[in-house]
Amino acid sequence: MGSVVMYASVSTDGFIADSDDQPGPLFDWLTSGDVPLDESGVLLVSRASYDYVRPYWDSIAVTIVGRHVFDLTDGWDGRPPSGVDHVVVVTHRPAPDGWDPAAPFHFVHDIETAVATAQRLAGDRVVEVAAGDVGGQVFAAGLVDEVRMDVAPAVFGTGKRYFGAADAHRLLDDPAVIQGDRVLHLRYRVRGPLD
């Protein structure tokens, strides 16, 4: 079974968006380099960021998000983002009216079902959990193996927290650190509950 990884770009003070759900400068590093990250021609990063991010993105089979992210992105028009095979949406509401049931999106009611569904679909590939409220709940439940953060040099002060509102007391291993342009990539293995 593949790893469960919580991931997002984040401000230095721990926010994944401002109070209006805007990422502001958190994604500037994705367009400030000279190495294409994908075929779009839009995402251009430093060589260090490419060497770190591209293999990770290629390993992701399933992404878990909350309904809020699904709604903000208009469900990516029924096509999972960045080459991901499936998206699992944690929600208490049904799929939107007119939603194509053949789209590779799975609507579930709780985080445990979300992780189990995602792991079944992913096999030995990575399950990515979007940081924020749902990600924080998955982390607090002890279901996250690794935390990845792309830390941007910005301070928001308020907004949407990386770990959401969940109460989580966990110990992480020492970080693997990669310096990109306008970003610091951090990767932590999760050890377990604090003693």
Please compute the mean of the pLDDT values over residues 137-161 and round it to a whole number. 97
* Total number of domains constituting the chain: 1
Given a contact cutoff of 8 angstroms between Cβ atoms, the answer to whether 128 and 115 are in contact is no
Beta bridge mates, 90:
66, 108
Report d(CA 7, CA 158) in Å as an integer.
19
pLDDT of residue 69: 95
pLDDT of 46 > 80? The answer is yes
Please compute the mean of the pLDDT values over residues 106-111 and round it to a whole number. 97
Of the candidates 122, 145, 133, the one whose C-alpha atom is nearest the C-alpha of residue 91 is 133
Please compute the mean of the pLDDT values over residues 4-16 and round it to a whole number. 98
Q: Which domain holds residue 67?
A: 4-193
pLDDT of residue 87: 98
Beta bridge mates, 31:
none
pLDDT of residue 85: 96
Please compute the mean of the pLDDT values over residues 123-151 and round it to a whole number. 97
pLDDT of residue 192: 82
Q: Which residues touch 184 (CB under 8 Å, ≥6 apart)? A: 150, 151, 177, 178
Report d(CA 130, CA 55) in Å as an integer.
18
Structure tokens at 134: 């749902």
82 versus 181: the higher-pLDDT residue is 181
Rounded to 5°, the CA angle 40-45-48 comes to 135
Given a contact cutoff of 8 angstroms between Cβ atoms, the answer to whether 130 and 66 are in contact is yes
Under the banding of pLDDT at 50, 70 and 90, the label for residue 149 is very high
pLDDT of 150 > 70? The answer is yes
Distances (CA, A) of 52 to 154, 176, 186: 21, 11, 10
Given a contact cutoff of 8 angstroms between Cβ atoms, the answer to whether 16 and 144 are in contact is no
- Supply the CATH number for residue 62's domain: 3.40.430.10
pLDDT of 160 > 90? The answer is yes
Of the candidates 180, 179, 175, 177, the one whose C-alpha atom is nearest the C-alpha of residue 191 is 175
Q: What is the pLDDT of residues 59-88, one digit of tens each?
A: 999 999 999 999 999 999 999 988 899 999
pLDDT of residue 195: 64
* Three-state DSSP state, 150: strand
pLDDT of residue 82: 82
Share of the chain above pLDDT 90, in %: 91
Of the candidates 62, 122, 112, 61, the one whose C-alpha atom is nearest the C-alpha of residue 90 is 112
Please compute the mean of the pLDDT values over residues 134-159 and round it to a whole number. 97
Under the banding of pLDDT at 50, 70 and 90, the label for residue 49 is very high
pTM of the model: 0.94
